[in-house]
Structure 1
Amino acid sequence: MSTALSRIPAYHRYAGKALPGQPGDSCHLLAWHSLDVAAVGWQLLAPERPLTRQLAAQLGIEPEALRRLLVFLLGLHDLGKFSRAFQEVLKLSLGGMASPQGKPYCQRHDRLGVLLWDACWSTWRRDGVLHWPEDAEIPARKLLIPMNSLMAPFFGHHGQPVATGQLTLADFFVDDGELDDAVAARDFVADWAALIEPHWPLDRMVDKQWLARFKTLSWTVAGWATLSDWLGSHRDYFSYCQRAMPLADYWPRALSQAEAVLDATGFGRPPEPIPYAGLAHWFAGTVTPTPLQQKAESLPLQAGPQLFILEDVTGAGKTEAACILAQRLLADGHGEGLYFALPTMATSNAMYTRLGDLHHRFYSSASRPSLVLAHGARELNEAFERAVMAASRKMTTTPTGK
């Protein structure tokens, strides 16, 4: 290795995304993509946000401590890209980058991340790579399930949990004498941990009841991780950078770019619910509530979880009554959004059309709420497609590379 390359951390020789042949930088270093995604997650998990408060309360961890732990783990979501097999598929021909080794890329990088983590985390913990508390003496065998459970939402950032099966580390992570993929990954993890300083709730991690709660919440955590990865891959806000620098120097840039993409996409701040002000606020003209709707307007709300079952004859305005309750619950701080569950695609399409822009009436004029049709044939719904096209015109998208 040349003297110049020897001064650069080995993990800066790996790309996270690439578009060879484009003007300017043709790749985005893996370290930078990892920090971009982590920065989006950091902003989304600000201690004052409802999601952070809810997760912290259910897991019994202070919001800031929870934020540091989850964001640290989020920064490891693409560990599998340290595989030379993945690097080869990017087809880069840049001097100093990890050299191709002819390894077949026959496994997804998320699965390769699990492979590397399973093989190395215990050694990394012992060697101090994970910013582990020095006085922690919990044996690795007791931490095997907790550590795998903590990482599952992050390696599953492409939509489903992943496992390694019978894969072998040496088949995908190369040590050619000049560059060792696993060592490069370890060095990145060590520097990232030193920067973010994760808090490991060791006493809780070995508690079966706590772990069960985390597994239940892991679907929420996975959604946050997936959203962070999606937004953190937006090239209009996270331009490619193939220049090496200390992680601490890049982190403020990533945080600034994350704030910009959240503001542009409406995630900068949650929609602000407004109090229910009567049906006249929803519909033009004079509207007289039905008896069921009057009941929904006046029914006392409780402090904790609540279940309302509305039954009445056809035409009694059950949907509007449910929406009245929904807006009142939102304004009272019981949620951030609402979900309509219908038995068929046809009834879902009908409800989507019927609601129109009613969801805008639930929030302040400065908010940017959206209504999403979530079934598998939504692309065939013309009203939904028009809404998607209108939204896409407000936010220009560009290819994100591999």
Structure 2
Amino acid sequence: MKHNQLELWIISLKVMMLLYAVVSYFMSGAVVSPWMTLFILIYVSLNISFHLIGRYLKLVMIACSIAVLVVFHYALYPLLVVLIPVNLYELAAQLFRNHWLRAAIVFIPLVVLPNEWLLDYGLFAALGFVFLTMLNIYESKVQYLSDETDRMRNDIHQLTVRLAQNEEFMRQAEHAYKLEERNRLSQEVHDQIGHSMTGALIQMEAAKRLMDNDPAKTAELLQNAIHISKEGIERIRLVLKNMKPLTEQLGLRRMKRLTEQFSATQPIRIFLTHEGNLDRIAPIHWKIFEENMMESLTNTMKYAQASVVTVHIQVLNTMIKCMVSDNGNGERQVIKGMGIIGMEERASTIGGTVIVDGSGGFSVTTLIPYKKCEESHGEG
């Protein structure tokens, strides 16, 4: 609740109390009096105007409103005393934060009022105090939540800026790494291959000059050139082999990146574990594991209300297994939707199967026969 909304509620309370007093005045048989009209105009003017001015002038205007009520209470109509508690509360709210001090000020007139007005004043004072106190407490809570929201928005903005800075740093680091790798590769090619090719070329140039005069020496030089060239080609093959990452590193690294990206955008912790010789897993099977894993994570986010997900890849003697399990609600009777059917179809293309279990959380296990994996490697 904003401050101006709080003021509207206070004005509404005053209007209702004023209507009560005015209606009671006319129901008592009193004639229409210019003094009552004057009182209403003065009271309304004062109580609206002090919502538009500063704090110190507001104190003066509230005090004037209370004085007007006291004067017209004695001179015109005693029941106007029921309008005093709201003004007293507003005056106390400007001076004190403690609700008990405000209550003491609101109920002070009970000491000096005659007995016939004690009940009316006490009832309106109690109702007004409870109503206005609840409004102030509610406003304080809303203000606190608003401040917390602003603080969190500021924190999110700072985190976003830091994330952007980190991403830029990572891009620069990646670019620098690529430049360093290119420089290293260039140097390695120069050191390992350039010398061999230069040596072979020198041998062939010498053989060319001796071709007519010394056939035996020419044959020897050519054989040396062939030997040096073979060594150079072997070094090229080794350099390229060392540059190429292993298959399991590509598949596992990609799955780690996918799980990290998912955890970064969703309130779920994901643990990726593995055991066995991952080199037996072909690229096509890594692809199936990745797609089934992402489908399982999406379903977990939508339905499971889980906080932890475990992805376990295990290479067995005859099977390769990828199990995605969570600690969510689970499902006693699993109804296969498009997601599960899609996972089953992907696994079936290579002779695999998908097992779904909804007891004790939810788990999706993709099983691929190892024989099929060997055939895929052979075909590749």
Bigger relative contact order (CA 8 A; separation at least 6) = 1
Larger CA Rg, structure 1 vs 2: 2
The structure carrying a bigger strand percent of its residues is: 2
The structure carrying a bigger helix percent of its residues is: 2
